[in-house]
Amino acid sequence: MSEKTLDQCKEVVELVNEYLGHALTAEDRAAFEAHLATCPPCTAYLAQMKTVLNLASSLGNAASHAEVEPQLMAMFQHWHEKKSR
Amino acid sequence: MIRHAADLETVAALLRGEHEAFTSLVRAHQPAFLRLAQTWVRDRAAAAEVVQQAWVSALESLATFEGRSSLRTWLFGIVINAARSHVRARKRTIPLSALIAEEAIDGPSVEPDRFFQDGEWVGHWSSWPTPFPSPDNALESERLRALLEQAISALPPLQQEVMVLCDVEGLSGEETCNILGISGTNQRVLLHRARAKARALLEEKLSDKVKT
């Protein structure tokens, strides 16, 4: 049985998400990696996508250290007083 | 069923009226809440009002939180509902099914004209992707983050929500489906489309910067 090959770059880019999410079959993964080994632009595309995902997750780490707005604290106080009545 | 013990403690502290518990919760989640609200309500001041309304709704229904999901997931659902209600109240609503039909459609990740259309190299890159600068110093990293924020905020609302929940906030596909009320298949297509567009927009913005 011959090994699966991925010849065209435009097919490879459609598999990048599944590759990054470890959702490819072993056969597809091997074909994807074999293509990448000989294709600088697809390697660059994968690197771009990794950068996008790393930057996106870093956006989520930006917890606020600012003071909580007074009206939000007042709202909390009001809610608790109303509930306690 | 996994109960979220720490979250149940937080809820108990809130019900006792402990200000520190509320302050910590707001600090942890306010940036994500604003980002989620802005997927529907572009105006920042209006989005801040939506978030405040979401906090009110969350406190009002706090006693019903049972720890079936994490508190964060539960709160995200409330924010998204508040944002969608805000839009609905202004009669600019589009049914979820219509949005899915519009946004969760298969299409190429990369513009077809970036590949050779025929000849020996058909399907191979004709215009190679330009490598992104490495975010190896704080200034470059901050610039790239700002450009990605712009790229994400330019996505259609459902794609934006899915990308914010999955890639920015790190929620699982299943949690995202539960919050948004969409199927797993639609979630995967929306995320695929969103990432592809965000990458393309970032590439475009970076090449604009190079030209100028």
pLDDT digits (tens, 9 = 90+) for A28-39: 999 999 999 999
Helix, strand, coil % in chain B, rounded to nearest 5: 70, 0, 30
The CATH number of the structural domain formed by B5-89 is 1.10.1740.10
User: How high is the pLDDT of residue B68?
Assistant: 85
Neighbours of A26 (CB within 10 A): 7
CB contact under 8 A, B202 and A44: no
Compute the distance between CA of residue B12 and CA of residue B174 in angstroms, rounded to an integer: 27
Supply the mean pLDDT for chain B.
Answer: 90
Nearest to A56 among B52, B125, B148 (CB): B148
Compute the distance between CA of residue B179 and CA of residue B114 in angstroms, rounded to an integer: 36
Whether pLDDT at B147 is above 70: yes
Domain span at A59: 3-84
Are A51 and A21 within 8 A, CB to CB? no
∠ CA(A40), CA(A41), CA(A44), 5° rounding? 90
Are B190 and B159 within 8 A, CB to CB? yes
Place of tokens 């706090």: B62
User: How high is the pLDDT of residue B96?
Assistant: 82
Which residue, A3, A2, A1, is CA-closest to A30? A3
pLDDT digits (tens, 9 = 90+) for B164-192: 999 999 999 999 999 999 999 999 999 99
Dihedrals φ, ψ of A48, to 5°?
A: -60, -45
Q: Which amino acid is at B148?
A: L
∠ CA(B185), CA(B2), CA(A62), 5° rounding? 70
B49 inside 8 A of chain A by CB: no
**Distance in Å, alpha carbon of B109 to nearest chain A alpha carbon:** 6
Chain B interface test: which of A5, A7, A11, A13 (most B C-beta within 10 Å): A13
Compute the distance between CA of residue A12 and CA of residue B45 in angstroms, rounded to an integer: 42
Residues of B with Cβ-Cβ distance to A7 under 8 angstroms = 123
Compute the distance between CA of residue B111 and CA of residue A59 in angstroms, rounded to an integer: 27
CB contact under 8 A, B132 and A63: no
pLDDT digits (tens, 9 = 90+) for B26-77: 999 998 999 999 988 888 889 999 999 999 999 999 999 988 889 999 999 9
Letter string b/e over residues B127-139, b meaning 16 or more CB atoms within 10 A of that residue's CB = eebebbeebeeee
Residue B113, helix vs strand vs coil: helix
Higher per-residue pLDDT: A4 or A73: A73
What number of H helices and E strands is found in chain A? 5, 0
Residues of A with Cβ-Cβ distance to B206 under 8 angstroms = none
CATH architecture, range B96-211: Orthogonal Bundle (1.10)
Nearest to B149 among A14, A59, A72 (CB): A59
Report in angstroms the alpha-carbon separations of A73 from A26, A69, B7, B20, B35.
53, 7, 20, 10, 21
Total domains, chain A: 1
What number of H helices and E strands is found in chain B? 9, 0
Whether pLDDT at B210 is above 90: no
Average pLDDT (B134-162) is 90
User: How high is the pLDDT of residue B212?
Assistant: 46
Neighbours of B123 (CB within 10 A): 15
B30 inside 8 A of chain A by CB: yes
Domain boundaries, chain B: 5-89, 96-211
User: How high is the pLDDT of residue B165?
Assistant: 96
Q: What is the largest CA-CA distance in chain A?
A: 76
Compute the distance between CA of residue A74 and CA of residue B52 in angstroms, rounded to an integer: 11
